[in-house]
Chains A and B, each alone.
Chain A
Amino acid sequence: MKRGLVLFFVITLSLFFAVSLYAGSSGKPPDVVSLDTMKDKYEAVPFTHKKHADMISDCGKCHHQHGNNAADPCKDCHAVTPSVFKQSVTAGFLPCRNCHTSPNPQKPHLVSLKVAYHSKCFECHRGMGNIGTDPKGCTELCHAIKGTKLSSSK
């Protein structure tokens, strides 16, 4: 009985340390993220995360868990805090796609992953290049059609 109790504590402690180490190692934001959920149609978008983070300097602009996002409806039911995100054992960081899945008619508030990404990008990039004036703009500036190259990256 005593041995079992000790074993239980040892396992719990080692798990705790493992999780903390894992979370700690992935705590640093990545420099470039490859956005490739639509790789069957378009080339992956090399999203320069560090560059954007430095430029905007408010992580809450994109990530619900950071900054002042008290008005976000998801927080009514889910504890969306930085610690919850970072201690997610499966990914070390709760990815957008865990909540933003495919469109759900029952939850029109919760936008799909595609819309979540694009609407964030368009906040600044609409008006850059031909985005917003020419349907070709999207494949010129951000994601080339599969097998081709962006015309902006020569």
Chain B
Amino acid sequence: MGKSSQNPDEHNGEKKTPRTITRRCFLGTVGALSTTALIGTGSKASAAGNFEGWPNRFGVLTDLTACVGCRSCEKACNEVNNLPSPKVPFDDKSVFNEPRRPNQNAYTVVNQYANPKDKDKPIYRKLQCNHCEEPACANSCPIHAYNKTPEGAVLYREDFCFGCRYCMAACPFNVPAFDYWSALEPKIMKCTMCYPRIKNGGIPGCVEACPAGALTFGKRDLLLKLAAEKIAKNPDKYVDHIYGQREAGGTSWIYISGVPFGELGFPTNLPNKPLAEETKGFLGAVPVILTVWPALFGMCYAALRHRDQIEKEKSANEKKEEVTHE
């Protein structure tokens, strides 16, 4: 580089070239661009890292040992959200024959698992949006159709959505469901933690309906304490782990269980940090790289081209001189 930037200086005195890039100008620009790039990525990372979540946010504690699989939560969810009536009635156990996932017609579903401790008492797991503390769906969304409310709910806005379905790929719990039947007006369907109800001091429909005490709604920090107390009081009944306390950076919906969570289909390979952190560095750098790199490499290219041009002219001159000498 040193050589390439020396040549124009030497040459400037002799001949005028159409575009001139001085050594000082080139180094100055490179320095400014690099500083911009560094400052840009640095400030972004620290701003997100200091936020520890909204105070007084809500959550739900699911005690998987208490659920008896009555499907009252599914029924209540259907009624509260005005979802279409299911093909199989809510008191039909045939739905337990194969695992289900939440979809556009059911924001929550209950699946049955064999109980290794007592085969006569199967274990049930209710699936719905876990309302992550730092939701991967929201981070993956290119147009901010998702937002995490101070109450804890992760909400989706269909009027923003253009149907890319990145959120479906990003969610570690397979929750956002695309309404394929109205594909022309893209719509992701998922649990809202009954946001309109909790905003007015109520509790989610599923929690209200649960007769078994498997679901408890409250401030997330109180629920974490309650979960820890339950485990401490009954160490033989529960495994010593609160699922969702730290998984994927923490979730609003937390779980305690009598058997290891892996046996109930919970993803156990999630990091204890927000999934967004895996991609934050890369995605944060994209805008900087898109603006700075073209300028940086453009400069290099211009400098190299300039040198080549000068060398060409030089050799052409030399040839001419040789010709005239001859």
Contacts and interface: CB of A to CB of B under 8 A. Distances in A.
B191 interface: no
B223 interface: yes
A98 interface: no
Nearest to B110: A135
B230 to A, nearest CB: 10
A95 B207 CA distance: 24
Contact of A106 (B121, B213, B216, B218): B218
A136 B213 contact: no
B233 to A, nearest CB: 7
Interface residues of A, number: 24
Contacts of B314: none
A71 B234 CA distance: 13
Which one of A103, A133, A138 has the greatest number of beta carbons of chain B within 10 Å?
A: A103
Contacts of A131: 68
A76 B69 CA distance: 34
Contacts of A106: 218-219
Contacts of A139: 91
B207 A135 contact: no
Interface residues of B, number: 30
Contacts of A103: 203, 207-208, 216-217
Interface in B205-242: 207-208, 210-213, 216-219, 222-223, 226, 233
A71 B232 CA distance: 13
Contacts of A115: 210-213
Interface in A47-103: 71, 103
B71 interface: yes
Interface string A105-134: 111110100110011001000110001111
A108 B217 contact: yes
Given A103-B208, A108-B222, A108-B223, A132 B69 contact: yes
B103 to A, nearest CB: 19
Contact of B226 (A109, A119, A132, A133): A109
Contacts of B120: 127, 132-133
A138 B211 CA distance: 11
B211 A105 contact: no
Given A126-B68, A135-B91, A105 B219 contact: yes
Given A103-B203, A103-B208, A135-B70, A108 B213 contact: no
A132 to B, nearest CB: 5
Contact of B69 (A71, A105, A118, A135): A135
A135 B94 CA distance: 10
A120 to B, nearest CB: 10
Interface of B: 58, 61, 66, 68-71, 90-93, 120-122, 198, 203, 207-208, 210-213, 216-219, 222-223, 226, 233
10 contacts: A105-B219, A118-B213, A119-B66, A122-B66, A126-B121, A127-B121, A132-B69, A132-B120, A133-B69, A137-B70
Pairs of residues from A and B, 4 with the lowest C-beta to C-beta distance, nearest first: A108-B218, A115-B213, A118-B211, A135-B91
Given A103-B203, A108-B61, 12 more contacts: A71-B233, A103-B216, A106-B219, A107-B218, A108-B216, A108-B222, A109-B226, A111-B216, A119-B66, A119-B213, A133-B93, A137-B70
